[in-house]
Amino acid sequence: MTSGTAGAAASAWSRLWPLALPLAYAAHLAEEALGGFVPWMRTVGVAPTMDERRFLLLNAVFFSAVAAVAVAAVASGLRRPAPRLLAAAFGAALSMNGAIHLVASAATGTYSPGAWTGALLYLPLGYLLFASPGVDLAGAEKRTAWLAAVGIHVVVFLLARFGVPGLR
């Protein structure tokens, strides 16, 4: 790769990285659904009452949010702080999710459906998002994104574990 080609690729990445989030999410969701993530969560006790309907609802809502934020961030040219920060928060949440799948697999001695895409897509995406010089996030934005990602995971865990109020 020539330096001009590398520069063009870095420039494209710096403008378009949010679009990688819903693409990685779709691949991850396919691995979870086809790999039996819902029965796995019930078996290991993470979400003993989880069913396919709740799993699909939670993921439909979250995927829609990730896709909308990614499009808004790219459409704004990443100049508006809110879409850029939200995209970074979702990127951090996906990266964190990849790590959680690997830890869960190690802790239970079983395959946590989603571990492969977590390791091969989410973790590298998180690295590129937070370590790439082409992604212009200030230190405070990175910290805020990680804190938001923790919050997102707490909410998703509680909804997975205890259900969605009003949904039967």
**pLDDT digits 0-9 by tens, 87-96:** 888 889 999 9
**pLDDT digits 0-9 by tens, 54-63:** 999 999 999 9
DSSP per residue over the chain, as a string? --HHHHHHHHHHHHHHGGGHHHHHHHHHHHHHHHHTHHHHHHHHTSSTT--HHHHHHHHHHHHHHHHHHHHHHHHTTT-SHHHHHHHHHHHHHHHHHHHHHHHHHHHHTS--TTHHHIIIIIHHHHHHHHH-TTS---HHHHHHHHHHHHHHHHHHHHHHHH--TT--
Q: Is the pLDDT of residue 43 over 80?
A: yes
Take residue 21 and report the two structure tokens written for it.
């989030």
Q: What is the mean pLDDT of residues 25-42?
A: 97
**Domains of the chain, residue spans:** 3-162
Q: Is the pLDDT of residue 162 over 60?
A: yes
**pLDDT value, residue 132:** 63
Q: Is the pLDDT of residue 65 over 70?
A: yes
